[in-house]
Chain A
Amino acid sequence: MNLKHVWIVFKKEVKDIIRDRRTIITSILVPMILIPLLNILVGGNVEKLNRDITENITVALSESSNTEEIRNLVKNEVIKDYPNISLIEVDDPIEAIKESKVRVVLDFEEDYLTKLNEGKPFVIKLLYDKSQTKSEGSLGFIWDAIDNFNRKIVERRLDTYGISKDILTPAVIEESNIADEKESAGSILAMIFPILIVILMSSAGIAPATDLVAGEKERNTFEPLLTTKPSRLSLLVGKYLTVTLFSFITVIATMVGVIIGYVINPSSFSMGSGTNITGFSIPPVALLLVIIISITLGMTFSALQIAFSTYAKSFKEAQTYLSFLMIAVMIPGYATMFMQPKEIPVYMFFVPVLNALSAFKTVFGYSIDYTYLFYTLGSSVVYVIISLWLTASLFTKEKFLFRS
């Protein structure tokens, strides 16, 4: 290998790729914009939906129970303590649910008043539309309001007998969340960030890797290149460094995107889960390890991508292989998405891809154990070496270079 030759190839390939508007768009612009956009859209929508479900809940009375008496009962007793619920007048209550004008329709039993006065249970039917998220989501609040109404009536009745209302609640529940704010925020990040980093690392090199070998074969520039002075290894390393560079650039672009998304809308990070993540901070050493592990991951993927691109008979074939590679990486990512950082078995810190996913999970989930991080780092370095060796032996074998 001749470093001067490597540098010449690297310089040319970078120049070539930078001039390709498509690569710039897919490897820099899209990752930079996509994440904030997705965060804002998804986060914003979930929030809006949550707000809509909890606020401005409209209810109506069925035609048969729409009397002055019942209206007053509902207004003054049932929903009085619920400023987010309002009773409205509609012509056709059922139609109103379908048109989303009303979330829930209340239908009172005909002789409810007699039953109420006699202390017997009467029925309130709740009509709603299960196919509408908002209608179904609001149901709980109506339940709550009616529960509250029931309790009030019972308390009143007990009062007339001179019995304390405490008799109704033998046990009082108090709950407290022992996870501090950091940990709850961490668990969300532990879910999203590892898979995000791994997918980006595995997809970033696709465009340059296909272009640099399969593309060069297809455009008939590969044979002249192979007959210039540099050894195949020098050519390979020059190309490899280019692919690696672009996968790093993509990752940096994504991180910038994440930060932009966070600045525009901090709550988008929690994806509408309501968890507050202002307490988010990672020890610098752990963060450094995350970056180094990401880099080894990028190096491994770049090598494999070049290997596939070399093996492929055409540009199309190379693209197909590399898409499969990306899907193969997504499977362990999604499979472990809901795994808690503390549940990860030790062997996972040694398995390719899973090791990085696990390490990221522990860091973002605030259960950092440096021993495990170094397991991941060590095994990742081994995988870099293996992938490079594999690619180098493929690239220097004429059997694969001249497949046609």
Chain B
Amino acid sequence: MIDIQGLSKHFDKVVAVDGISFKVNKGEVFGLLGENGAGKTTTLRMLATMLTPTSGTAKMAGFDIINEPEKVRGSIGILFGGESGLYDRLTAEENIAYFGELNDMDRNRIKERIKELAKVFNMEDYLSRRAGKLSKGMRQKVAFARAIIHDPDIMLLDEPTSGLDVSAIRDVHEFIKRCKSEGKTVIFSSHSMDEVEKLCDRVGVIHKGRLVATGTLDEIKSQYGDSDLENIFIRLVGGKSES
């Protein structure tokens, strides 16, 4: 479903991402682990066609991010950062519908889909309220619905739990599980080992723009002879930065 081939990104002299390659199968949740400045956001932005790779490419749901960016965008949903950015002067429903329209859905389909999602996320009571008047938790649910209104095959989440409180984090985790249960392919980046352990089928550890380890959790644990992912992470990351 996702096939990343030697993806690199340079910002002037900074090499943010340095020749990353990995595959994510359909229905898998892939965790991208890395410390600050490792290149997670840059990688996800390239996959979302927001940034053009310096070299390499990736296939998303069969479409090439360089040659078919529009088709790629039509098959992905994103959730970047913890705080949900909504248009405050539009209602919750209008916020969601706007993204449906932009993704070429017809009006009736959008209506149906919003009804469906409102039930799933318990948003029926505040669909017609302005987003600016909603609580943080409500806004988050609107952002979830907006991200999957067009039922994308792939979800890209960049540190979706950063800066959130406990219950909001649980909501995000529920959301990821829901995406998985619907057969979506998910990549999400994170700082937190716990969350990665809890949710991911496979992980990739990224350090200074390079992928230093990939595999299922068990594979990685047995490869490094340690059952504590955090220790492995420190070893991977710490070892590299000494050189």
Contact = CB atoms under 8 A, between A and B. Distances in A.
Interface of A: 4-5, 8-9, 12, 15-16, 19-20, 219-231, 398, 401-402
10 contacts: A5-B102, A8-B98, A16-B87, A220-B84, A224-B143, A227-B78, A229-B70, A230-B70, A398-B51, A401-B50
A221 B49 CA distance: 16
Given A224-B85, A227-B50, A228-B102, A16 B80 contact: no
Given A9-B102, A221-B87, A230-B102, 12 more contacts: A5-B102, A15-B94, A16-B87, A219-B85, A219-B86, A220-B85, A226-B50, A227-B78, A229-B74, A229-B103, A398-B50, A398-B51
Nearest to B12: A399
Interface string B135-152: 000000001001100000
A398 B49 contact: no
Contacts of B51: 398, 402
A398 B146 CA distance: 24
Contacts of B156: 227
B171 interface: no
A223 B160 CA distance: 14
Contact of A227 (B49, B86, B89, B143): B49
B73 interface: yes
A398 B98 CA distance: 24
B114 to A, nearest CB: 16
Contacts of B89: 16, 19-20
A20 B88 CA distance: 10
Nearest 10 Cβ contacts at the A-B interface: A220-B85, A228-B102, A221-B85, A19-B89, A227-B48, A8-B101, A229-B74, A227-B78, A223-B80, A219-B85
A101 B74 CA distance: 81
B103 A223 contact: no
A16 B85 contact: no
Nearest to B158: A223
Contacts of B52: 398
B99 A224 contact: yes
A228 B50 contact: no
Contacts of B99: 224, 228
B interface residue count range (under 10 / 10 to 19 / 20 to 34 / 35 or more): 20 to 34
B85 A231 contact: no
Contacts of A228: 73, 99, 102-103
Nearest to B51: A398
A220 B102 contact: no
A228 B103 CA distance: 6
Contacts of B125: none
A223 B74 contact: no
B104 A229 contact: yes
Interface in B4-54: 45, 48-52
A398 B52 CA distance: 8
Nearest to B80: A223
Contacts of A226: 48, 50
Given A228-B73, A229-B70, A229-B73, A8 B50 contact: no
A220 B83 contact: yes
A402 B99 CA distance: 21
A229 to B, nearest CB: 5
Nearest to A217: B85
Contacts of B86: 219, 221
B81 interface: yes
Nearest to A238: B102
B90 interface: yes
B98 A223 contact: no
Interface in B79-118: 80-81, 83-90, 94, 98-99, 101-104
B76 interface: yes
A229 B84 CA distance: 20
Contacts of B74: 229
Interface centre among B78, B90, B98, B103 (most CB of A within 10 A): B98
A221 B96 CA distance: 12
A229 B81 contact: no
A77 to B, nearest CB: 76
Contacts of A229: 70, 73-74, 102-104
Nearest to B84: A220
Given A221-B86, A224-B146, A402-B50, A8 B80 contact: no
Contacts of A227: 48-50, 73, 76-78, 156
A19 B95 CA distance: 14
Given A227-B50, A227-B73, A231-B70, A8 B78 contact: no
A8 B104 CA distance: 10
Contacts of B77: 227
Contact of B81 (A19, A220, A401): A220
Contacts of A222: 85
B156 to A, nearest CB: 8
B74 to A, nearest CB: 5
Contacts of A20: 89
A66 B65 CA distance: 100
Interface string B175-215: 00000000000000000000000000000000000000000
B43 to A, nearest CB: 14
Contacts of A5: 102
Contacts of A230: 70, 102
Contacts of B87: 12, 16, 219, 221
Nearest to A21: B89
B78 A223 contact: yes
B100 to A, nearest CB: 9
A226 to B, nearest CB: 5
B124 to A, nearest CB: 23
Contacts of B101: 8
Nearest to B82: A220
